[in-house]
């Protein structure tokens, strides 16, 4: 059974204070790892898909990396508008069911 | 690109009535769409997988006669909550997988529909 664990559950940062969010996974053959951002009362917004260890992707202040056991979402010089819950997920063999981590609730204070 | 819309964004209904929620992929075709529900401060729970032109596959514990899913085209799936009760109040979110054929294809999510049953 696929398992995804995110840490920390909550993270408070000052504006400009860089940090990393962790997503550890146990799957029987990785078929991709997805990162999403979810704001309160909204659906998850797609950020990145990573497929193989060593892969990195960037978007503005966010950078996602992947190893064989975990993925990191690095946030550089965050701004208050980066405050949200960040979710990582892996698909099952058929690419249907996503197993989500519990999410990291990020709060960036000005 | 890869935009998914939902309508309505919120709905309030009386107990016993039925509510239909639409999910559309606006700029891509999706053979597979998914319906989730999310309770406050909890993760998304997959309810069913919907394939265009065929019957939906429901997750264990989800009543298929209560949550009717229709996927009539490559861009539209609907979820009908029949005889809704207060316990059905939740945030319903759909997602669509880009038509590319691989299990690693990204799922794009709609903005969600807040259902409140009085």
Q: Is the pLDDT of residue B28 over 90?
A: no
Please give the pLDDT value at position B106.
Answer: 86
By the 8 A CB rule, do A7 and A87 touch? no
**Per-residue pLDDT tens digits for A47-71:** 999 999 999 999 999 999 999 999 9
Query: Would you state the torsion angle of the CA atoms of residues B109, B50, B42, A8, taken in this order, to the nearest 10 degrees?
Result: -60
The confidence score (pLDDT) of residue A55 equals 96
Confidence of residue B22 (pLDDT cuts 50, 70, 90): very high
Facing residue for B106 by CB, picked from A46, A87, A101: A46
In this predicted structure, the answer to whether residue B63 has a pLDDT above a threshold of 80 is: yes
What does A83-99 look like in DSSP terms, one character per residue? -EEEEEEEE-TTS-PEE
Range of the domain at A79: 3-109
Concatenate the DSSP letters of all residues of A6-69 into one string: EE-SEEEEETT--EEEEEEEE-SS---EEEEEE-TTSPPEEEEEE-STT-EEEETTEEEEE-SS
Confidence of residue B54 (pLDDT cuts 50, 70, 90): confident
Choose the closest CB to B93 out of A43, A95, A101: A43
Mutation to test the B interface, candidates A42, A43, A93, most B Cβ within 10 Å: A43
- Burial of B39: CB neighbours in 10 Å, binned 0-12, 13-18, 19+: exposed
Q: How far apart are CA A19 and CA A16, in angstroms?
A: 10
* Contacts of A5 by beta carbon, 8 Å cutoff, 6+ apart: A23, A24, A25, A101, A102
How many domains are there within chain A? 1
The answer to whether B44 contacts A100, with C-beta atoms less than 8 Å apart, is: yes
DSSP state of B76: E
Residue A83 belongs to domain with CATH number: 2.60.40.10
Residue B24 confidence (pLDDT) above 80: yes
Residue B99 burial (C-beta neighbours within 10 Å; 0-12, 13-18, 19+):
middle
pLDDT (mean) for A83-101: 90
CA distances from A57 to A64, A106, B34, B89 (A): 5, 20, 26, 37
The answer to whether B103 contacts A92, with C-beta atoms less than 8 Å apart, is: yes
Mean pLDDT (whole number) for B85-91: 96
């Amino acid at each position: 059974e696929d398992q995804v664990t995110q840490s920390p559950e909550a993270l408070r940062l000052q504006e400009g204070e860089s940090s990393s969010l962790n997503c550890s996974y146990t799957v029987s053959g990785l078929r991709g790892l997805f990162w999403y951002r979810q704001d309160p009362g909204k659906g998850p917004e797609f950020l990145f898909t990573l497929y193989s260890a060593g892969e990195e992707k960037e978007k503005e202040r966010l950078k996602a990396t992947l190893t064989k056991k975990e993925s990191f979402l690095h946030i550089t010089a965050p701004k208050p508008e980066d405050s949200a819950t960040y979710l990582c997920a892996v698909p099952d063999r058929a690419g249907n069911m996503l197993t989500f981590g519990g999410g990291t609730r990020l709060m960036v204070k000005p | 690109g890869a935009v998914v819309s939902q309508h309505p964004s919120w709905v309030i209904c009386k107990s016993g009535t039925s509510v239909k929620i639409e999910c559309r992929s606006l700029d891509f075709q999706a053979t597979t769409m998914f319906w989730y529900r999310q309770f406050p401060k909890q993760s998304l729970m997959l309810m069913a997988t919907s394939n265009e032109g065929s019957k939906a596959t429901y997750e264990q514990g989800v009543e298929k006669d209560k949550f009717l899913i229709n996927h009539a085209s490559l861009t539209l799936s609907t979820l009908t909550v029949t005889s809704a009760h207060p316990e059905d109040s939740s945030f319903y979110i759909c997602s669509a997988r880009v038509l590319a054929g691989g299990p690693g294809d990204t799922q794009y999510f709609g903005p969600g529909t807040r259902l409140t049953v009085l």
